[in-house]
Amino acid sequence: MEGVGVAITLRGLSHTYRTDDGPLTVLGGLDLDVPDGGYAAVTGPSGAGKTTLLALLGGLEQPQSGAIEVGGQDLTALSGDGLAAYRRATVGFVFQHFGLLETLTAAQNVELAGTLAGTSPAQRRARALELLAAVGLAERAAHRPSRLSGGERQRVAIARALVNEPRLLLADEPTGNLDDDAAAMVIELLEKVRADHACTLVLVTHNRDLAARAEQRVALDRGERVSAPV
């Protein structure tokens, strides 16, 4: 499978949430470079800003200050439909909670990304089945998420993330809800996908062993980069 990754450049990226106890800075002037096709693991304790970093990279939120460039695209200049188009065309998400719609079958969940991209029903159906076969779930295409194991659900989620051939794959604790065997299978699948598609992979994890497999480790604590894993 052919694909092209994206380089990530963050400069002075800051993000603050308003809380009942006052402003909470979750990212404070973060600088980061991930090369095109790179594999970065973001680690850190809860509240370190890992998920916010992933949300900003994925265009789920607009940056408040600082520069964020993905594949030469300035995300601070995008909003609304622009960010939606960016998410659709550039990003593939894998969530800790899988993010599958319970009302849809595995194949329909995978198709969903193609549906949003306006792909014809026949094309997206074929693509979904192809990807489900690629993650070893061809025979579970008609099953709903509730009938799949955790590992299978995450593999469906990975298949869905690949529908639009993303250049950036973002995984938020992809093994957080899985047992060891399923976690190993999922991480191997992610790495294989990255290798096959040559896409850039950024994953957030608490798992040090998993982080150790990445080419680049980004340790965060209270919104700032720290030199050593916490």
Nearest Cα neighbor of 41 from 171, 142, 194 is: 171
Please tell me whether residue 146 binds other proteins under the rule CB under 8 A: no
Cβ contacts of 77 within 8 Å, gap of 6 or more: none
Which part of the chain contacts other proteins (CB under 8 A), choosing from 105-113, 133-141, 193-201, 210-218?
A: 105-113
Please tell me whether residue 160 binds other proteins under the rule CB under 8 A: yes
Q: Of 144 and 217, which CB lies nearer to other proteins in the complex structure?
A: 144
Largest CA distance in the chain: 52
Task: Name residues contacting other proteins, limited to 74-103 (CB under 8 A).
Answer: 80-81, 83-85, 87-89, 91, 93, 95-97, 99-103
Distance from the first to the final alpha carbon of the chain:
36
- Helical ranges in 117-224 per DSSP H: 121-134, 150-162, 180-197, 208-212
Distance CA 26, CA 51 (A): 10
Please tell me whether residue 55 binds other proteins under the rule CB under 8 A: yes
Please tell me whether residue 4 binds other proteins under the rule CB under 8 A: no
Distance CA 117, CA 63 (A): 24
Which part of the chain contacts other proteins (CB under 8 A), choosing from 4-12, 24-32, 148-156, 158-166?
A: 158-166
Quote the least distance from Cβ 177 to other proteins, whole Å: 9
Please tell me whether residue 126 binds other proteins under the rule CB under 8 A: no
Please tell me whether residue 172 binds other proteins under the rule CB under 8 A: yes
Quote the least distance from Cβ 55 to other proteins, whole Å: 5
